Amino acid sequence: MNWFKKIAEKKDPLPPLAKWEDILRGWAGGALAIAAVAYLAETSGYSLVLGSFGASCVLLFGFPDAPFSQPRNVIGGHFLASLIGLLFLSAFGASWWSAALAAGTAIAGMMLTRAVHPPAGSNPVIVMLSAPAWDFLLTPTLAGTILLVIVALIFNNLARKKAYPRYW
């Protein structure tokens, strides 16, 4: 009964609408970052794009001051989560329970290393669904996230008054 009451309780109001300049900056930064990574992937022949990168762009360009948006979180979170996914895939194969344990372990690992990046939480699931080789850690994971952060460093420091990143 308490559970239902807890859900039905009055909640906070919606947060305020973002300023139009922030919305446009988020749109432009996200589009530019994905364009850069996808273009380099297409022209180089290397796999550089992960589905979770779209969500990373929401944070990098929509909320660049958030802890989840800092370079150590983006690069470290994606790398650690992909590594954990690959370890679980190698040790146990792709199954519902290994995907679940890999995702949970990735969350705990990111929290322990202070490199939490929520979009990276999907990387172990992506690994289980696609069963990639170990080079998945380098391309697309590491190379792709480094490219996203480079675009964020350039774009956010040109398009905003505040400096990005807040910390390394």
pLDDT (tens digit, 9 = 90+) per residue, 11-31? 889 999 999 999 999 999 999
Give a yes or no: residue 94 inside a domain: yes
Distance in angstroms (rounded) separating the CA atoms of residues 117 and 120: 6
Closest CA to 51 of 38, 36, 66, 32: 38
Q: Which domain holds residue 135?
A: 18-159
How many domains does the structure of the chain reveal? 1
Give a yes or no: residue 13 inside a domain: no
Segment 68-126, tens digit of pLDDT = 999 999 999 999 999 999 999 999 999 999 999 999 999 999 999 999 999 999 999 99
3-state secondary structure of 98: helix
Give a yes or no: residue 165 inside a domain: no
Give a yes or no: residue 147 inside a domain: yes
Give a yes or no: residue 140 inside a domain: yes
Give a yes or no: residue 12 inside a domain: no
Could you tell me what percent of the chain has a pLDDT over 70? 99
The token duo for 18 is: 């973002």
DSSP for residue 65: T
Residue 135, phi then psi, degrees to nearest 5: -70, -10
3-state secondary structure of 138: helix
Give a yes or no: residue 71 inside a domain: yes
Give a yes or no: residue 5 inside a domain: no
Closest CA to 141 of 69, 55, 51: 51
pLDDT at 1 over 80: no
